[in-house]
Structure 1
Amino acid sequence: MSTFKDVFKRDPDVTASAPGRVNLLGEHTDYQGGFVLPTAIPQRTTVSIGRNGTAEHVLHSANSHKTLHVPVGEVGTEFAPYLTGCLTLSGVTEGLDVFIQGNVPSGGLSSSAALEVATLRALRDLYALELDDVALALRGVKVEHEFVGVKCGVMDQMASSLAGTDTMLLIDTRSLERRAVPFPAGAEVLVIDSGVPRRLAESGYNERRAQVEEASRLLGVKELRDVTEVSALDGLPELLHKRARHVVTENARVLAGLGADATAFGELMNASHASLRDDYEVSHPQVDELVALLQGHADIFGARMTGAGFGGAVVALARSGQATAAADAVLWRYGPTGRRVVP
């Protein structure tokens, strides 16, 4: 694979990286002030930057072998908004050469957040920005909202900026308080890419967010985080009731997962998938098939879709030492489109 020097014929001024993440519990709750339990994955995105002395940004993706030229102050197209959003919000007024490469799979593992966090880390180093890890994550969220057009919550960027691979990170997405939480004893995380492209993820995500915001408005609460009993949702229109029920019960599942043993945690993951499939309606038939195969394996405690949905990745909690063998057995039955990501 090419390097910054191969493309731009000199060394970069700065290089930084950031990991993708997988979320074990707490899906589609972070834009309603809820609780989430992500962990970082080993795969990372790396961004190298160098000043070019022009009024144009030159953006090169080693993965897609594509170079984009964007005038300073403009947003650009394709993958450019993720980068130019970071540059604009960081006050960059000079032309930069930006080289990106990585192995974070797209589809539920926050490849976009890893790109934003890595870019912002590089800019922090290049310009000595006073930007701590939380402020950096929030700037990444702003990039999504204002430049990419996805009204995401804070989990993905917070996890990419702050999480490690050896624990889960409990995040209160309202207060931004967080703490490391150990994985259930005797268990390890397994991530499989379903091979289903997330064609409706962005439009569906924004639609679901609008629906739960309307549910909150009708209930007279700031966010569904303030609702703890499903009975409080009575009176909502049927569709909004389903959407809100997912958020309320998912928050409860995250809190129930703290300190749960592997069997109980797995059951919570199974219930989370059913809720995402039936109440939030963000799954996909092939993803459901893969989840069911995992849930039926003797060495899997539980499994669920992860990420925005409509395709993408699946996460499972496997018996320690058995994740690879379980994945191989499941993928043999699932078919050639799936592939193991972690471990």
Structure 2
Amino acid sequence: MVYISRICFRKYGNFVDNLRLFVRGGSGGMGLPRLGGQGGNGGDVWIVAAKDMTLKKIKDKYSHKRFLGGTGDNSSVRALKGVNGKDAEVFAPVGITVTTDDGRILGELNKEGDRILVAKGGSGGSSYTGFKPSKGKVKHIRLDLKLIADLGLVGFPNAGKSSLLTALSNATPQIASYAFTTVRPEIGKVMYPDYKQISVADLPGLIEGAYMNRGMGHKFLKHVERTKQLLFVVDICGFQLASKTAFRSAFETVQLLTKELELYKEELLSKPALLVVNKMDLPHAEDKLAELKEQLKNPEEFSDLLPDDMIPKNYLIFKHVVPVSTVTGFGIDHLKSCIRHSVDDVSAMETNAIHQERLQALRSDLHQHL
């Protein structure tokens, strides 16, 4: 038995995944020239990862979106060394990337308790500065949330991503027979009998041109960056967004999804990937699956089926190709098993890499002492 809990975020209209803040370090305190006293330093401004925080909570609680470090105390006869100003801490969710307005990355919050200094306080006045203090640093910064999950569902609208997560979870999110049902990010946490938990992110469907920010392009693609593996979901019968757009076969759909990720950020394709072929309950699905598997074995031979702008530089090699039907439940248990094996394989590789690094460091230290 596999259980799953679901964390549902609000619609993108209310769900906040980026926020711009004004931050300023506190000014230092004045020194005392006649006694050589030193003013206190101004307080710093920090972004701190905290449990149960969201960007929407920050936006709602601090509508001014201004965070200032405290001012350092002046030096005085009673206290030659002025007290430092109080630091300002902005509590934010895990998964945040902090950047300046010009795109320079200041740091990332990858786990609870991580801290990023975003505005340094000014120095207190001293004999070195003519007892005059300095002002704190001033910045506009951006907090950009990228959901962290073990796997991210990648697919076009109506491929059945929400239905797939429902089949895995026995939950009942809103699902309809039209495209763009999912307009909010959702994370499902799958728990196996040995209490192993694997998180799967279901995100709004891509459309062609997503890398150029069409549709919800960048709102989707930036979240894919923080997932450890990719779970492609395609309709075995192909996909057509609207009557005026081209029909794409299952093979074309796979390559177009690959191309969209490649154009947005090529390193996304270095992630391990699984392919879920959905809607196997439809007529002639088995024949189409056999054709798709043959095409995926030698994709270069079938590149003439694709327009030039759809051909990716490198074709993805999937760890598993799993046919399923979210209507009948066919293949769901096998998919759960494949997901578990894939996640465990990656964890084992990461653990081995860490051990190798530590061993190399120990050897290096030993060599230096000989």
Q: Same fold (TM over 0.5)?
A: no
Give the structure with higher Rg (CA): 2
TM-score range, shorter chain: under 0.3
- Ranked by relative contact order (alpha carbons within 8 Å, sequence separation 6 or more), the top structure is 1
